[in-house]
Amino acid sequence: MDNKTKIKSLIFLIALCLSSIIYNLSSGVSYAVPMDSARFKIESANVEIAGGNKSSSSYKLADTVGQLAAGQYSSTGYVVKAGFQYLHSIVPFSFSIANIMIDLGTLVPNIPSEASTTLSVSFGGAGQYQVTAIEEGPLKTQSGNVISDTVCDGNDCDETNVAVWNLPSIYGFGYKMSGEDIPAAFVTCGSLCYRRFPDRTALPVEAPAVVMSSQDVTVDLTSKPKDIIHASTITFKTNVSSIQPAGSYETVVNFVATPSF
Partner 1 sequence: MKKKILIIIFSLFLSSIIYHLESQVSLAQQVSLSISPPLLELFIKPGKEIMVAYQLKNSGDPTFLNLKILPFEARDNLGNIRIKSEFEGPVRFSLDNADLKLEQTFFLKTNDSQQILLRIRIPENITDGDYYYSLLAETIPPTSSEGIGSTRAKATIGSNILVTISNSGNVDIKPKIATFSTMNGIAFGKNIKIFDSSDKIPVILTVVNKGRNMIKPEGQISLKGNFGETTKYDIISKNILAESERLLEATPSADLSSGIYHPSSLVLSGFFIGKYSLSTQMKFGDNSPTIFASASFFAFPFKIAGGILLATIIIVFIIKRRKDE
Helix (H, G, I), strand (E, B) or coil at 116: strand
Is residue 14 close enough to count as binding partner 1 by CB under 8 A? yes
Contact region with partner 1 (CB under 8 A), list: 128-136, 151-159, 161-169? 128-136
Could you count the other beta carbons within 10 Å of the beta carbon of residue 49?
A: 12
Is residue 79 close enough to count as binding partner 1 by CB under 8 A? yes
Could you count the other beta carbons within 10 Å of the beta carbon of residue 55?
A: 8
Is residue 63 close enough to count as binding partner 1 by CB under 8 A? yes
Rounded Cα–Cα distance for residues 50 and 199 (Å): 40
Is residue 239 close enough to count as binding partner 1 by CB under 8 A? no
Contact region with partner 1 (CB under 8 A), list: 57-65, 154-162, 164-172? 57-65
Is residue 243 close enough to count as binding partner 1 by CB under 8 A? no
State which of residues 49, 111, 167, 192 lies at the interface with partner 1 (CB under 8 A).
Answer: 49
State which of residues 2, 4, 30, 55 lies at the interface with partner 1 (CB under 8 A).
Answer: 30
Judged by beta carbon, residue 141 or residue 164, the one nearer partner 1 is 141
Q: Min. distance of Cβ 232 from partner 1 in angstroms?
A: 14
According to DSSP, residue 223 is labeled: S
Bridge partner residues of 85 (DSSP): none
Size of the site for partner 1 (CB under 8 A): 109
Judged by beta carbon, residue 51 or residue 155, the one nearer partner 1 is 51
Judged by beta carbon, residue 22 or residue 155, the one nearer partner 1 is 22
Segment 154 to 173, residues that bind partner 1, using CB under 8 A = none
Segment 86 to 125, residues that bind partner 1, using CB under 8 A = 86, 90-107, 113, 115, 117, 120, 122-123
If we measure between CA atoms, which residue out of 113, 172, 165 comes closest to residue 146?
Answer: 172
Judged by beta carbon, residue 107 or residue 170, the one nearer partner 1 is 107
Among left, alpha and beta (phi > 0; psi -120 to 50; other), residue 38 is: beta
Half-sphere exposure of 259 (CA within 13 A, CB side): 15
Judged by beta carbon, residue 139 or residue 177, the one nearer partner 1 is 139
Q: Min. distance of Cβ 247 from partner 1 in angstroms?
A: 9
Segment 137 to 156, residues that bind partner 1, using CB under 8 A = 139, 147
Helix (H, G, I), strand (E, B) or coil at 198: coil
Segment 185 to 224, residues that bind partner 1, using CB under 8 A = 187, 205, 207-208, 210, 213, 215-217, 220-221
If we measure between CA atoms, which residue out of 120, 132, 130 comes closest to residue 227?
Answer: 120
Q: How far is CA 246 from CA 113, 140, 241, 249, in A?
A: 15, 11, 11, 9
Q: In whole angstroms, what separates CA 30 from the centre of its chain?
A: 21
Q: Which residues neighbour 130 within 8 Å (Cβ) at sequence distance 6 or greater?
A: 210, 212, 213, 214, 257, 258, 260
Is residue 75 close enough to count as binding partner 1 by CB under 8 A? no
Q: In whole angstroms, what separates CA 52 from the centre of its chain?
A: 28
